[in-house]
C-alpha cells in the first residue's frame, strides 16, 4: 500500500485535466515568492555599494544574507504553528506586508545594526510566507490540479534567481542600492492590493484538528520527503555556492554569468514541464530529477576540463532542479492533508538547513580536497535521495 505521493502516480480523468487554473491568484503567490527571493539575494550583488554606505566591510554586508536565512530557519516552524488558527488571507497579507516594512527600513537605514535587524525580520516573514504558499495554492484548486497549482505558485523563486537578481544588481548599479530597495517596497505594496483582490480567503485550522509537530512528522510520507529535500538541497548548494571556483579550475572562470544563465533557463523549462505532468507523474518526475542531477554531477566529475561538457551538465542540472520545489511541496501537501502548512514549515526549515549545510560542506571540501571533490559528493548525496524513494517504491508493482 502506498503511503506517500512520491510513491504512486495517478492519472485523473481527461475531462478534468482541461479545468482552468485560477491564474491571477496563483501568479500573485508567485510574485510573493519572487519578492521574497529578490529581497534575500539582492545584497549579494550590491556588496561594494552597501559596504561603503554603511561603513562596514563587504564581509559584514554579506552577513545580511546570513541573518535573513537565520530568520527563516528559526521562525518558520514556531510561527506557522502559532498562527494555524488564523484566517489564511490576512495572515498571507501580513507576511507580504512585512517585506514592504523591512525593505523600507533597509532603504533608509544608515546604521548597520538596524539594517541587520531588518534583514533578520525579513527572514522571519519569508519563513512564514514560504510555509503558506504551497498549502494556499493547493486549496485554490481541485485535488487533481494541486501539483500544477503549486508549480505556478513556485514560479517566482527561479525567476528571481535567474532574472530578478541580475536585474536587481544592474538596477542598484544604475540608480543606487537604496533606490532599489525602495522600488521593492513599491512593488510589494502593489502586490498587497493584487493579492487582496485576487486571492480567496480560507479559514484557519480548527483547534480539534491541529496535530502536534511530532504527530505531523509521523504522518506517512512526511519523513521521506523531508529526507529527499535535505539531501538534494545540500547537494545543490555544494555545487551552486562554489560554482565560481569550479569554473576557474575548469579554465572558464570568465564564463560564470553565461553558465548561470544556462542553469536559469533550463530551470525555467523544467518548471514548465513539471507543471504539465506533475499531477499525473509525481513519483516518476521526482525519480527522474534525482537521476538527472546525479548524471550531471558524474559528467562534471569525469570531464571537468571540457567546457562543452560543463555547459551540458549545467543544463541537465537546471532541468533536474527547476521543478524540484513544486514536486517536493506537492508531495508534502498531499501527505499532510489538513496539516499542510505545518509540514511546509518543516520543509522551509530543512531547505534552509540544506543551504547552510551546503555552504559549510562545500567550504570544507574546497579547503581539504579541492573542487574536484564536489561532483562526487553531489553524486553520493543523490544516491541517498534516490535510496529514500526507491526503498519504498520497489516492492510496489
Q: Which of 174, 190, 208 is the last residue of a domain?
A: 208
Q: How far is CA 197 from CA 25, 28, 133, 384, in A?
A: 9, 10, 17, 44
54 occurs within a structural domain: yes
Domain membership flag for residue 357: yes
What domain count does the chain have?
2
**Is there a single domain that holds both residue 202 and residue 267?**
no
Residue-wise burial string across 285-323, b where 16 or more C-beta atoms lie within 10 A, e elsewhere: bbbbbbebbbbbbbbbbebbebeebbbbbbbbbbbbbbb
- Supply the pLDDT for residue 7: 47
Clarify whether residues 111 and 236 are in a common domain.
Answer: no
- Same-domain check for residues 189 and 222: no
**Residue 151 falls inside a structural domain:** yes
Element (H, E) at 26: helix 23-45
Residue 15 lies in a domain: no
Long-range pairs for 23-28 at CB < 8 Å and ≥24 separation? 23/152, 24/198, 25/140, 25/195, 25/198, 25/199, 25/200, 26/137, 26/140, 26/149, 26/152, 26/153, 27/152, 27/155, 28/191, 28/194, 28/195, 28/198, 28/199
The answer to whether position 3 is within a domain reads no
Assess whether 236 and 204 both reside in one domain: no
Q: Identify whether residues 198 and 162 lie together within a single domain.
A: yes
pTM of the model: 0.78
- How far apart CA 297 and CA 388 sit, in angstroms, is 19
User: CA 348 to CA 292: how far, in whole Å?
Assistant: 24
Mean pLDDT by 10 residues, the chain (397 residues): 47 50 90 88 77 81 79 85 86 94 92 91 90 85 83 81 72 84 93 92 73 74 87 87 77 76 85 83 88 91 83 92 86 77 81 79 78 86 84 39
Q: What is the pLDDT of residue 12?
A: 43
Look up the CATH number of the domain holding residue 226.
Answer: 1.20.1250.20
Supply the pLDDT for residue 392.
54
Residue 164 belongs to domain spanning: 22-208
Establish if 10 belongs to a structural domain: no
- DSSP assignments along 140-169, one per residue: TS-GGGHHHHHHHHTTHHHHIIIIIHHHHH
- Domain boundary among the residues 145, 173, 208 is at 208
What pLDDT, on a 0 to 100 scale, did the predictor assign at position 9? 45
* Amino acid 302: pLDDT: 84
| 221 and 368 belong to one structural domain | yes
Mark whether 191 and 236 lie in a shared domain.
no
Amino acid at each position: 500500500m502506498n503511503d506517500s505521493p512520491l510513491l504512486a502516480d495517478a492519472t485523473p480523468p481527461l475531462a478534468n485535466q482541461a479545468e482552468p487554473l485560477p491564474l491571477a491568484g496563483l501568479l500573485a503567490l508567485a510574485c510573493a515568492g519572487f519578492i521574497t527571493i529578490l529581497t534575500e539575494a539582492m545584497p549579494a550583488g550590491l556588496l561594494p555599494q552597501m559596504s561603503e554606505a554603511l561603513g562596514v566591510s563587504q564581509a559584514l554586508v554579506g552577513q545580511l544574507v546570513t541573518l535573513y536565512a537565520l530568520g527563516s530557519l528559526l521562525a518558520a516552524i514556531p510561527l506557522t504553528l502559532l498562527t494555524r488558527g488564523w484566517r489564511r488571507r490576512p495572515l498571507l497579507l501580513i507576511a507580504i506586508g512585512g517585506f514592504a516594512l523591512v525593505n523600507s527600513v533597509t532603504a533608509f537605514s544608515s546604521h548597520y545594526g538596524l539594517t541587520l535587524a531588518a534583514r533578520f525580520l525579513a527572514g522571519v516573514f519569508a519563513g512564514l510566507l514560504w510555509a503558506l504558499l504551497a498549502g494556499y495554492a493547493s486549496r485554490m484548486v481541485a485535488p487533481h490540479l494541486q501539483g500544477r497549482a503549486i508549480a505556478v505558485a513556485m514560479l517566482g523563486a527561479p525567476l528571481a534567481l535567474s532574472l530578478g537578481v541580475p536585474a536587481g544588481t544592474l538596477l542598484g548599479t544604475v540608480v543606487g542600492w537604496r533606490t532599489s530597495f525602495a522600488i521593492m517596497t513599491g512593488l510589494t505594496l502593489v502586490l498587497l492590493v493584487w493579492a487582496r483582490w485576487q486571492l480567496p480567503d480560507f479559514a484557519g485550522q480548527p483547534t480539534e484538528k491541529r496535530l502536534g509537530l511530532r504527530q505531523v512528522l509521523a504522518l506517512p510520507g512526511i519523513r521521506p520527503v523531508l529526507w529527499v529535500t535535505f539531501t538534494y538541497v545540500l547537494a545543490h548548494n555544494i555545487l551552486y555556492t562554489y560554482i565560481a571556483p569550479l569554473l576557474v579550475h575548469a579554465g572558464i572562470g570568465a564564463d560564470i554569468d553565461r553558465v548561470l544563465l544556462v542553469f536559469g533557463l533550463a530551470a525555467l523549462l523544467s518548471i514548465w514541464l513539471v507543471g504539465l505532468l506533475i499531477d499525473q507523474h509525481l513519483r516518476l518526475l521526482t525519480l527522474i530529477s534525482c537521476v538527472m542531477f546525479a548524471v550531471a554531477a558524474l559528467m562534471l566529475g569525469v570531464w571537468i576540463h571540457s567546457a562543452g561538457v560543463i555547459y551540458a551538465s549545467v543544463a541537465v542540472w537546471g532541468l533536474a532542479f527547476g521543478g524540484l520545489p513544486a514536486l517536493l511541496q506537492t508531495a508534502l501537501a498531499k501527505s499532510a492533508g489538513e496539516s499542510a502548512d505545518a509540514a511546509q514549515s518543516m520543509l522551509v526549515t530543512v531547505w534552509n538547513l540544506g543551504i547552510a549545510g551546503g555552504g559549510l560542506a562545500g567550504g570544507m571540501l574546497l579547503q581539504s580536497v579541492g573542487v574536484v571533490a564536489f561532483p562526487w559528493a553531489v553524486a553520493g548525496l543523490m544516491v541517498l535521495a534516490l535510496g529514500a524513494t526507491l526503498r519504498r517504491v520497489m516492492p510496489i508493482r
